[in-house]
Amino acid sequence: MLFGRTLRLPCDILFGRPSDTPSSPNEYLNNLEARFESVHVFAREGIKLASEQMKTRYDSGATGHHFKEGDQVWMYNPKRRRGLSPKLQQNWEGPYTIVKKLNDVIYRGRLTPSQKSFTLIG
């Protein structure tokens, strides 16, 4: 489908074109609108199916992290530091102590007992 019309091919010269031409411009617009709607529905269904498949594939490899208060965790922080090669930088900081669990993935943690706690996302 190209711009709502069927393609004109060289074989049309030999065999002729199908005679499903509309009798009026309004009929043509109605047919075109119906075809576009069906194409959009088909595309939406395909996108939804592909999205569900990608989610399933991602979720199969994802592991949930469940921490309790008092657990020791390391935090990944890939912040680049000047003057040191990225290859030699340490991207992991810690160990942090979990102080409070805010919800399934967000925790409050601190490095030392005297330090102010901050948000960790696990």
Confidence at residue 19, expressed as pLDDT on a 0 to 100 scale: 67
Give 89-117 pLDDT, tens digit per residue: 999 998 999 999 999 889 999 999 888 88
Provide the residue type at 56 as one letter: T
Could you tell me if 112 and 121 are in contact, meaning their C-beta atoms sit under 8 angstroms apart? no
Report how far residue 74's alpha carbon sits from residue 97's, in angstroms, rounded to the nearest whole number: 9
Closest CA to 122 of 72, 56, 59, 64: 64
pLDDT at 98: 94
Contact 110, 122 (CB under 8 A): no
Q: How confident is the model at residue 20 (pLDDT cuts 50, 70, 90)?
A: low
Distance CA 83, CA 2 (A): 56
Give the integer Cα–Cα distance in Å for 114 and 98.
14
pLDDT, one tens digit per residue, over 4-13 is 677 777 877 7
